[in-house]
Structures are given as structure tokens and as C-alpha cells.
Amino acid sequence: MTIAVTAWLGAMPGFMAPLLLAALGLLLCERAGVLNLGVEGVMALGAMVGAAMSLAGWSPWAAMGAGALGGLAVSLPFMVAVIVFRAPQISAGLALAAIALGASAALGRGASHKPFPGLENMTWGGDWAALPVVGRMLFQQDAVVYLTLILAGLMALWLMRTRAGLRLRAVGEDPATADASGVDVQLYQFGAVAVGSLLIGLAGAYLSVGGSNIWTEGMVAGRGWIALALVVFAQWSPIRAIGGAVLFGGAEALIPRLQAMGVEVPVYLLSMLPYALTIGVLVLMALSKRARQAEPGFLGRAYIRQDR
């Protein structure tokens, strides 16, 4: 039993990292008042680009950077549509998801089911890495896992402690007031969605380059929608998002562990576990008055300066 728990905990950070990266990207978008429902497609395109660049001989880090840029590139029409032309954000986000999913499938046929070298796990901490149960989880992960946790902390500090972070939050809460005080609302929204799209694309690239070392169509498998739920669960807080990513990532990592242990549960029922957990969390958040109060006040709405 101890071996199974150790294996589960050791695998959990690898499942946590892409969810947290995508959630941080979404959190930036939503703090600026932009609801981005295209995350599933952006992650898929990032995964495909990362795999294609890895097969072309690029280093894992360069390939993941290319995946992040791919996520930004496919998001540009969405950014222009919702920020400049004030298109309905839900419709534009769903269109982005469909376009990016289709593009990843069409452009990635040559890269499908071809393995390539990926990120290597770090081994540090000396004797601490040999600790029972938690040693592998804490001290034998790839660098992206640790950098993602650091990024969440830095983002929390930036949002809460810097002038630019406070202005971004103001844009998402009340853009008319922010505009009247001299804040360029569109500039902050463009910046937030651009950086958010980079992080979402990086999350997808990590799935192929850092996680499975292979790309297949459909490998994102709903993680983008889970990331959307994670942001709500975290009440738009980067620090709380870490706990949510651990919860959702732990549930996802549990599936292969239960199968390896020979637990007699239908595989489709096990595969439903992360999504059932997502629905349960969303229901609880919907019933929570505190969670509703944490939502950015102007989320999903188009700001027209003449209306202020």
C-alpha cells in the first residue's frame, strides 16, 4: 500500500502543473474582465506545436516556448474580437476552442503518435529525496513543476501588492471607474489576455513535451474545462489555485494507480472521476455566497467607453 501511495503522490505534480498553468492564464484573463472559454483549444494547439517542434529537433524548453507562442497566435483573433469589437465573449471563446481544436488536428497529423525526448526530472535535496512517501513528490520533479508554483506566488504578489496589479483588478471590477482615473482599459485587457494565452499554450505544450513525450489528437481530454472550474474553485486567487490544482491533479493521477492496483472498477467510471469532481465543485461554489462575491464584477461583459 505504501508503494502505491508513494507512486500516486510522485505522479501527482505532473498532473497538477498543466492545470495550474492553464488556471493562472485564465485567472489573468478573468481578472481583466475577459471570459476565455477557448482554453481547451488553445491547450490542444500548444500541445501540438510543442510536439512538432520536439520532433523537429528542438530542445524541450524551446519546444514548450513555441507551444506558448502558438497559444498566443491562435488567441489573437479572439482578443481583437472581444476587446476591440466587443463581440460576445462566450460565443467568441467557444469559436476559439473549435478553431484551435480543428487546427491542432489538421496541422498535427504528421506529428501524431511519434515519441520524442522530453523534460527530465530533477533530483535535488540530497538525503531528503529518499524520504518515504513524499520524497519523490517533493524532490524528484521536472523544473516546470517548481517554476509553476513560484509563478503562482509571484502572480499573487503582483496582483495584490503592485500598482499595475491593482489597476488590472480595477479593470475587471469596474472598467468605467478605472478609465476615469486614467487607466487604459483596452491595453490592460490586451496584456492580460496575451500573457494568459501564453500560459495556456505553455500548459498544453507541457502535456506533450513534459508529460507524455508524445502527441495525439484529443490528448487535452477536457483539462481546459477543468481549469475553468479550478479558477472558480480558487475564487480567482493564484494561491488558492495551487490547492485546487493539487485536488484535481490528485484525482486525475489516482486513475492509473487504481488500475495498476487491480481495483475492479469500470475504466470509464474511473475516467469520469475528475469531471464528476469538477461538477461537484462548481455546484458547491454556486451555492457559496463568498465565491460569488469573489468573482470580478465586470467578468464577461463588454466595456463601451461612451456608456460610462
Which CATH class name applies to 2-117+138-307?
A: mainly alpha
Q: Which three cell numbers stand for residue 138?
A: 517533493
pLDDT number for residue 270 = 64
List of residues 6+ apart from 260 with CB closer than 8 A: 4, 7
Is 21 within 8 Å of 148 (Cβ atoms)? yes
Q: Name the band, by pLDDT with cuts 50, 70 and 90, for residue 120.
A: confident
The answer to whether 21 and 211 have CB atoms below 8 angstroms apart is no
pLDDT at 91 over 80: yes
Residue 264 confidence (pLDDT) above 70:
no
Q: How much is the pLDDT for 260?
A: 67
Kindly report the pTM of this predicted structure: 0.93
* Whole-number pLDDT of residue 228: 92
Query: How far, in Å, are 7, 9, 11, 130 from residue 139 at the CA level?
Result: 13, 12, 12, 9
Distances (CA, A) of 73 to 42, 90, 106, 179, 201: 9, 19, 16, 28, 10
Q: How many angstroms separate the Cα of 35 from the Cα of each of 49, 96, 286?
A: 24, 12, 17
Task: Kindly tell me the burial class for residue 212, based on how many C-beta atoms sit within 10 Å of its own C-beta (0-12, 13-18, 19 or more).
Answer: middle
Indicate the SS3 state at residue 215: strand
Q: Is the dihedral of CA 92, 98, 99, 100 positive or negative?
A: positive
Contact 77, 96 (CB under 8 A): yes
Cβ atoms of residues 66 and 57 within 8 Å: no
Helix (H) or strand (E) holding 276: helix 273-287
